[in-house]
Amino acid sequence: MKKLDIGLIGYGYIGKIHNIAYKTIPIIFPQYGDAYNLSSLISTKTQNLENTGFNTLVSSIYDLKNENLDIVDICTPNFLHLEQSSFFIRKNSNIYCEKPMAVNLKESLQILNLVKEKEIITQLALVYRFMPAISKAKAMIENNCIGEIINFRSQLFHSSYLDPNRAITWRLKKEMSGGGAISDLGIHLLDILVFLLGYENIDKLRAEANTIIKERPAENGEGMEKVDVDDWGLIILYLKNGAAGTIEVSKVSHNPYDTFEMEIYGTNGYIKISDKSPYEPIYSLYNLKDSKDTLEIIKTDNYVNYLNSIYPNPKMSMGPMVDMHIASILNMIINVSNNKVLNKETPTFEEGIKSQKLVELAYLSVKEKIKS
Ligand SMILES: NC(=O)c1ccc[n+]([C@@H]2O[C@H](COP(=O)([O-])OP(=O)(O)OC[C@H]3O[C@@H](n4cnc5c(N)ncnc54)[C@H](O)[C@@H]3O)[C@@H](O)[C@H]2O)c1
């Protein structure tokens, strides 16, 4: 089979994690070692990137106008996603793009419309869908193990911007990022809830946002710049059955023990998912006689078993962050190699735009309150 030519755009924090995944997949999953070539790295800064393992190193996507890449992996700041994905969609490349798809829903829909004109495979790096504990929770919820959903709560707390002396970056400039904690972190929690509870079951939401650190040193070191996005956010999401739950996100909260946590309560018990236990959800059933059935449901679930074959086992783990990216990227490679999306759980652009819509609604809700 022809090896897939992969191009990676952007070599900052997440670009490096993606490259770790490309380098590691042939070691952990040797059956896929022959599936792809690291063809082109596109990075505005090219200094010291000669040994990243890519055959070609260029500084602009337009240097590749005559190249045919099978997969283009976009790891650049959000404001570049529209231009870069559009360029390669028009060239019929399959697109793997970091979240969010673009700075807002309007631009994301523009991308989706272009995709619809082509027969290409797309995926967003909504990587929590690839955490084994979440796939098991999904199997349990779908099979009614915890009964009807009553309430839920979730959090994703980072401390990346807790230091007020940290200079402003593109992430804290609305024009370049599209939003702050809600769009950067909230999108992951919203996508997990869409995945676990079903988009069709979501009724409405309300949101609050705050900017704790209101100005920061400019990137060039000259003076201070205003932060015009949220660094903390809270969403209350209501389901059509009357249940409600919370999503709380922060870029300025130091809590190294419970960075990501989600609890879902139903009429027959609860499930907790956390990055401290990425392989297994913690759960307790109110009606204990259902426990044996639950184990069987988890053991025989197709998606759970598929993830077992693409997620590093505990002895090979590099931590859930890298492991989820490995499984997510491998899923993309498998889909492109088969020329179709094999698992409906894949966060294709069509699927991933659902959480982008909820982010947009959350910001609308915040804005309405500020006005009144
Ligand atoms: N899924 C996740 O877990 C996750 C985690 C972190 C970041 N992200 C997403 O990844 C994307 C990048 O975030 P990051 O943290 O790596 O940012 P970053 O600032 O660390 O890196 C961005 C890189 O892009 C490069 N770049 C800028 N303009 C470019 C251009 N025109 N062509 C090529 N390269 C260019 C910059 O030089 C920089 O190296 C964002 O969309 C972000 O939301 C996702």
Structure tokens given for 104: 């807002």
Residue 155 to residue 249: CA distance in whole angstroms? 6
Distance 149 CA to ligand 1 centre (A): 36
Choice from 17, 58, 98, 170 to test ligand 1 binding pocket (greatest atom count within 8 A of CB) = 98
The torsion angle over the Cα atoms of residues 156, 158, 164 and 170, rounded to 10 degrees, is -90
Choice from 14, 318, 321 to test ligand 1 binding pocket (greatest atom count within 8 A of CB) = 14
Per-residue pLDDT, 372: 52
pTM reported for the whole predicted model: 0.97
Task: Name the helix (H) or strand (E) containing 174.
Answer: helix 174-177
Per-residue pLDDT, 22: 98
How many other CB atoms are found less than 10 A from the CB of residue 302? 12
Structure tokens given for 328: 């997510």
Per-residue pLDDT, 371: 61
Distance 75 CA to ligand 1 centre (A): 5
Residue 134 to residue 271: CA distance in whole angstroms? 10
Task: Evaluate: CB of 331 within 6 angstroms of ligand 1.
Answer: no
- Amino acid found at 253: S
pLDDT tens per residue, the chain (372 residues)? 789 999 999 999 999 999 999 999 999 999 999 999 999 999 999 999 999 999 999 999 999 999 999 999 999 999 999 999 999 999 999 999 999 999 999 999 999 999 999 999 999 999 999 999 999 999 999 999 999 999 999 999 999 999 999 999 999 999 999 999 999 999 999 999 999 999 999 999 999 999 999 999 999 989 999 999 999 999 999 999 999 999 999 999 998 887 999 999 999 999 999 999 999 999 999 987 777 789 999 999 999 999 999 999 999 999 999 999 999 999 999 999 999 999 999 999 999 999 999 999 999 999 987 665
Per-residue pLDDT, 290: 72
Q: Which of 62, 56, 51 is nearest to 84 (CA)?
A: 62
Query: Any idea what the Cα angle at residue 116 is, between residues 114 and 119, rounded to 5°?
Result: 105
Distance 54 CA to ligand 1 centre (A): 18
Distance 301 CA to ligand 1 centre (A): 35
How many other CB atoms are found less than 10 A from the CB of residue 354? 17
Domains located in the chain, CATH noted: 4-127 (3.40.50.720), 128-310+349-366 (3.30.360.10)
Per-residue pLDDT, 29: 98
Distance 12 CA to ligand 1 centre (A): 5
